[in-house]
Structure formats: structure tokens, C-alpha cells
Structure 1
């Protein structure tokens, strides 16, 4: 009798709301809005990188605040999925559920990689 191993390949749909970015472009003009959006996306990527280093180092003390910041910044750009999963990760930490945190953390990494990928269209619809 052989052991069968199931290979799971999670696929997370990325939900975004083009409204916040469209409003930024409408209010600021194309050039200023492009600079702002690019800057915020860079800050999100740096924040995610810092969070990743803290998780790897098991330095979880400040992470709920970092996840809240990630959530807020993501929502400002209409990155609904990224903001939602960041909130879920914060909730898992605050309730002290390491198993749930591990699962949500893996999902957050996947969602962040797709949401913050170069060339990702913030004015598009859900992916």
C-alpha cells in the first residue's frame, strides 16, 4: 500500500477597488498621482519586506501595529485583498493562534506578491 501525497496549489483571487486610485488621479493630475501611487507602492513593498524579516526572526511583538499600517496603506490604494488579509493576520496574532497565523501569513505573502508585482494595474478590476 503506497502513500499518496496531495500537492496543493492555492490560488487566491485578488480583489481591488479602482475607485481610490481613480480619485487620486482625478484630484492630483496624472504626473503627481503617478508619483504618489508609485511611492506608496514602494512603501508597501518595504513594509512587507520588514514584516517578513520580523516573522522569520520570530519578532512578533510589534507586528499587529505593522499589519494595521499595511492594511491602511493597502486600502488607500484600493488593494482590498491585501488589506483584508493583513487584518486577518493581525487578528490571528492578537488572539494568539499560531496555526491560523501560519496559514494566513502564507496567504498574505501570496496576495502581496501578486498585488505589489511590477506592472500590476491598479485601475483594473479583480484578478
Structure 2
């Protein structure tokens, strides 16, 4: 998703880049609910840094304008985004990118790194409500 968002920026499709960036951050936030190692949760911040790394001031400004066009919670774009991610349900991929980012990847390499008893549906609902304000 990071590479797709960066590709959209290179093509100057900032609105699409923004939606991909938001989806990437939303999924990363959700992944913090299912990855046990709290040191791994910094992967969410690392994704933001990797996305913005090397962007020119002009490009950053254009991306910020896409944020403004998207609007705040309750805007038409926000409502549509929420509708789309709610319909899609919780991610089902294995969050290896985040698990490998944490210290326990080195200190407990035999562990799968996931929170025991994690409820995907409930965690996704909370993520949508608390993080994305859906």
C-alpha cells in the first residue's frame, strides 16, 4: 500500500494517494490491536516516515491540499471512505511487517507475535470508531 500511495504521488494523483495513505494508516492502527509486542507498534509511525521521505515541499503541499479536499469527519469523502472500509471488514493478512519491526522478533523468534484471544470484528469496529471516527 505504501508503494502504491507513493506511485500515485509520482503520478500527481494526490486524492488517490491520500485514500491509500489513510487505508495504510488505518490498517496499521488495527494491526497494533493484534500484535502483542508494543515495541513493534512503532511500525505505524515508520510507515508515515517512509511515505513522506524524499517528498519535495511542493509535493507535500499538494498532498496537504488533498487532505483539505477530503475534509474532516462527516465530510462526503470521509463518509464514503468509512462506508468502503466498513464493508470490507477487518484485514485478514498476517501483520509480519509489524511483528518484524519489534524487539520480540529477536528475543522470542518462535512466537507468532499475535495477541491471544484477539477478536478481529470487535477490534476493527473500535478502530473504525476511535481512529477513523467512522
Is the TM value for this pair above 0.5? no
The TM-score normalised by the length of structure 2 is: 0.28
